[in-house]
Amino acid sequence: MYERIIDLITGNTVFGISVLNLLLALGVAAITFTVSRAAIGFMQRRVSAVGSVGQVLVKVLAGTSNLLLLLASLLVGLGMLDLPERWLTRVSSLWFVVAALQIGLWLNRAIALGLVHYFSRHGGQGLYQGSALATLSAWGARVLLWSVVVLAMLSNLGVNITAFVASLGVGGIAVALAVQNILGDLFASLSIAVDKPFEVGDFIVIGPLAGTVEHVGLKTTRIRSLGGEQIVMANASMISSTIQNYKRLQERRIVFEFGLSYDTPTEAVKKAPVIVEEIIKSQDQVRFDRAHLRGFGKEALEFECVYIVQDPGYNLYMDIQQAINFRLLECFSRIGARFALPVRSIKVTALPEQADTPVQQRGSHGYGRG
């Protein structure tokens, strides 16, 4: 029985290779796979205690493909055989393909971890923007990485990559022309994420549109307007417009004007800037700047006042302005200062002499004859 098995193993061949040598090659491959897997696990346990760098290495090594490791182990086993020359060339090419794919997987994992680490530290409040930028960056880095890996493998397999790259260039131009609007929005999203003209939660005004930024995506930005509806704008349109960002106000400079009628007493006119200054200084979180009789308008004595609200809140500003207006009404009524109204006064200095009517003339003649 055993002799038959030994004769079967030693006396038969597969593709010109004895069954015994094939079994030895499989045994070497199995041992290589087991040892390699154990070595990777041992390295992960050892470097995990190094620190943050060690944690990154552990995660990178976790990207090791068992399939590629098995293929590499089989190639090690095949190396133990006396293969024909043409098989040696193919095995060498397979070694390069397996190594290139595994290195590509490790680098792909390292790129992903590096981008996550970078944007988690620098994202801050612009989390959505950081996500958009991270997505674009990861996509671009991975496309570049796997393009290099694929071209390297094709070159090793004997493919003329010069003509291949040239054809890809022509095809890339055609695709870029077809999707230029989409690419414009993608690059606009990248510009928004890098420059940060606004972030999620900012109140912005773009032309006639105003609202709070809810989301910055790869193609569009979503804004919640004051009326409650959601406004969706293309990123390319966003960066080509003038954006007013009110969220980044440190303090709000207010210029307000009023007019007094020309029949206001001169003393009351002189007191008006002083009264305005006292009223503004009595408000909380307000810094007075100036108050002047700016000029003589067509219908009123024009005053201009400036103050700074030391808080960016719009509701607070409106409360302060309302309090100032109420106090102005009270104080000006006490000193006899009257606000100008948009009316035109007509002063009549003399009336034209009335001419006698024909009836009156006829009556006078009749009375003369009587």
- Mark whether 228 and 256 lie in a shared domain: no
CATH number, domain of 297, equals 3.30.70.100
Structure confidence at residue 250 (pLDDT): 86
Residue range(s) defining the domain that contains residue 217: 197-245
| 213 three-state secondary structure | strand
336, 312 contact by CB (below 8 A): no
Structure confidence at residue 275 (pLDDT): 95
Structure tokens at 302: 């024009």
Assess if residue 350 is contained within a domain. Answer: no
Assess if residue 126 is contained within a domain. Answer: no
Distance of CA 333 to the CA centre of its chain: 53
Structure confidence at residue 178 (pLDDT): 61
Assess if residue 284 is contained within a domain. Answer: yes
Structure confidence at residue 301 (pLDDT): 94
Structure confidence at residue 353 (pLDDT): 66
- Mark whether 22 and 80 lie in a shared domain: yes
- Mark whether 259 and 240 lie in a shared domain: no
Structure confidence at residue 356 (pLDDT): 52
Give 130-139 contacts, CB < 8 A, sequence gap 24+: 130/193, 132/189, 132/190, 132/192, 132/193, 132/216, 132/217, 132/218, 133/189, 133/190, 133/193, 133/194, 135/218, 136/186, 136/189, 136/190, 136/193, 136/218, 138/111, 138/112
Local confidence pLDDT in tens for the 370 residues of the chain: 555 555 555 555 555 566 666 777 788 888 888 988 888 888 878 777 666 777 778 888 888 888 888 888 888 877 777 666 667 777 788 888 888 999 999 998 888 888 777 777 765 544 445 556 667 777 778 888 888 888 888 888 877 777 766 766 666 676 666 666 777 777 787 788 777 888 888 899 998 889 999 988 878 889 999 888 999 998 888 888 888 888 888 889 999 999 999 999 999 999 999 999 999 999 999 999 999 999 999 889 999 999 999 988 888 999 999 999 999 999 999 999 989 887 666 777 776 665 555 544 444 444 443 3
Structure confidence at residue 294 (pLDDT): 93
Domain end, chosen from 42, 69, 94, is at 94
pTM of the model: 0.51
247, 197 contact by CB (below 8 A): no
Structure confidence at residue 256 (pLDDT): 93
Assess if residue 140 is contained within a domain. Answer: no
* Angle at alpha carbon of residue 119, lines to 115 and 120, rounded to 5°: 115
The total number of structural domains that make up the chain: 3
Structure confidence at residue 287 (pLDDT): 94
Structure confidence at residue 364 (pLDDT): 44
- Mark whether 257 and 209 lie in a shared domain: no
Assess if residue 315 is contained within a domain. Answer: yes
